[in-house]
Amino acid sequence: MIDLHSHILAGIDDGASTVDDAIALVNHSALSGVTKVLATPHIHFGTFDNDLASIKKAFAELTLKFQKEQINTAVAYAAEVRICPEIILLAKTKQLPFMGEWQGSDLLLIEFPHSHIPPGSEKLIDWLIKNNIQPMIAHPERNRDLWKFPELLRPFKQRGCLLQITAASLLGDFGERSEKLAWQLIEAHEATIVASDMHNLTRRPCKMKEAFEAVATRCSQAMAERLFTDTPDLIFNSNPTIWTLK
């Protein structure tokens, strides 16, 4: 399996605090069959003020230790960018770390607030698409507005936004409403990938294996492979920052 959403860069957001924590997270996910992990730290102005420089620095620290400890998991970096007007400036100044490519466009992992969908989001998505940036919405099933009004996602689907579901949502870890919406999106064939969004081993570990089995049982093995392995692998392999053990 290939995990395209994780918080394994040490000390720059609410994920791994140290590189040793990151190694523990990655080793744990490897035990469940994850072979490639994309680091997607938060870029969330005022909360996690990351930029390309802070992400590159943390990634270099991570891979140095991975080499030393002979960690076999391939890693690369992107970011999980909180939706905000500043994204336009970041795009214009080439400061957005992309997940990889999607049909000739740069693929950007975008997060809505958990409470609502901010006004103006559709316009921002239009601007991104016009500028050759393909948005992928992180865990829409965890948004409280979408619990009540799932049809609010329709304008984003109509614009071609891709959807990332979080593995633990499918297992009920974020409550019944997230679980229900996650399965609705999977069963309607509207989800693009499933990823772990792992932060730590205690409250937010990697649940990819359990979620894969749940999708294979409830839907089909082929669908599980597409969501957890095939599509994420295509994206990961198009990322220009891949590191593997030498």
Sign of CA dihedral 164, 167, 169, 171: positive
Please report whether residue 141 would count as binding Fe ion according to CB under 5 A: no
| Number of residues this chain uses to bind Fe ion (CB under 5 A) | 2
Q: Is 3 in the site for Fe ion (CB under 5 A)?
A: no
Spell out, one character per residue from 70 to 109, where the chain touches Fe ion: x when CB under 5 A holds, - when not.
----------x-----------------------------
Residues 110, 135, 157: CA angle, nearest 5 degrees: 105
Kindly state the smallest distance separating residue 7's Cβ from Fe ion, in Å: 6
CB-based closest residue to Fe ion = 197
DSSP notation for 64-89 = HHHHHTT---EEEE--EEEP-THHHH
Distance CA 222, CA 224 (A): 5
Nearer to Fe ion among residue 195 and residue 215 (C-beta): 195
CA distance 54 to 41: 10
Which positions ≥6 away from 217 have C-beta within 8 Å?
A: none
**Under rule CB under 5 A, residue 197 binds Fe ion:** yes
CB of 193 to Fe ion, least distance (A): 13
C-beta closer to Fe ion: residue 13 or 106: 13
| Interface residue list for Fe ion (CB under 5 A) | 80, 197
